[in-house]
Amino acid sequence: MFGVVPKVLWSRVYSSNENNLIDLTLRSLIVETEDHVILVDTGWGDKQDEKFFRHVNLHGGEGLIGGLKNRGYKPEDITDVFLTHLHADHCGGGVIRNESTKSYELTFPNATYHVSRIQWEWAVKNNVREADSFLEENILPIGQSGHLNLVDEEWELFRGFSVMMCYGHTPGLMIPVIKYKDKTLVYTGDLIPTIAHLPIIWNMSYDIESLKTIAEKEKLLNEALSGNYILVFQHDENVECCTLEMTPKGIRAKDKFEFSEIC
Ligand SMILES: [Zn+2]
């Protein structure tokens, strides 16, 4: 998760266990507009076998459907599923396997699934480097369902919900920038997965093109600092949100807080 950053450095800001593993969350987001209930990312899901999930050491949390239920949503309520990208820990929960018909179905039957066109075309042709992340059973059923909307460019996809397109982590990673009351929230996804990834060169080895990630983070962080945006972290086990400030070392976290303090 920290690429070439030595453990002596990252372990000061993100703790690991005796097996050298770190805890990460799969924090999805619900955004309600006047006429849409948008789910941003869907976690791993549960379609793969036990060996697969032993490898990712899935544990804890409410689960996608459980988490939605605890907040008063049924799968049928979701009008839109916004997938930042198609890596398995971001899109897997969007497709379920129906054991009686032995077929794949959308978890959210009434939803349009939004994926960037660049990411979709990249993922369906697959590549050696990301083969472990782009799983057919997570992706192809969406295309076959007729519920797929391909997003071509940066724009306001829903009222108050805009898209920033990135290419460093994987081509066509979409980062949502959301206006909520007088605030602007950025769901930083895999561009800045945890608060420990704020330094612009602290990046994941999963990134396909590190230099692009660095440039994209720098652009976003400068914009977020000047606009006083709130960052919402998808993978940080401990910190849900933060604001930013300029320090002698660069842009860093200012206030850290829980999502419930904003909404
Ligand atoms: Zn990813």
CA of 110 to the centre of ligand 1 (A): 25
Check residue 123 and give its pLDDT. 97
In this model, does residue 263 exceed pLDDT 90?
A: no
CA of 86 to the centre of ligand 1 (A): 7
Q: Rounded to 10 degrees, what is the CA torsion of 186, 232, 135, 47?
A: -140
User: What's the 197 CA to ligand 1 centre distance in angstroms?
Assistant: 14
Judge whether residue 138 has pLDDT over 90: yes
What distance in angstroms lies between residue 127's CA and the mean position of ligand 1's atoms? 14
Compute CA distances 167 → 49, 108, 173, 175, 258, whole Å. 30, 28, 6, 11, 29
CA distance 119 to 101: 30
- All residues with CB under 5 Å from ion ligand 1: 87, 190
> Token match 């605890």: residue?
70
CA of 242 to the centre of ligand 1 (A): 21
pLDDT above 70: percentage of residues in the chain: 100
Helix (H) or strand (E) holding 158: strand 156-158
Task: Give the C-alpha separation, 174 to 45, whole Å.
Answer: 20
Check residue 116 and give its pLDDT.
Answer: 98
pLDDT at 244 over 90: yes
* pLDDT value of residue 126: 86
Taking the centre of ligand 1 as the mean of its atom positions, its distance from the CA of residue 26, in whole angstroms, is 11
Distance from Cα 146 to the centre of ligand 1, integer Å: 24
Residue 228: which residues within 8 A CB-CB, separation 6 or more? 184, 243
pTM recorded for the entire structure:
0.97
Mean pLDDT of the region 31-44: 97
Question: What's the gap in Å between 36 CA and the centre of ligand 1?
Answer: 25
Q: How confident is the model at residue 74 (pLDDT cuts 50, 70, 90)?
A: very high
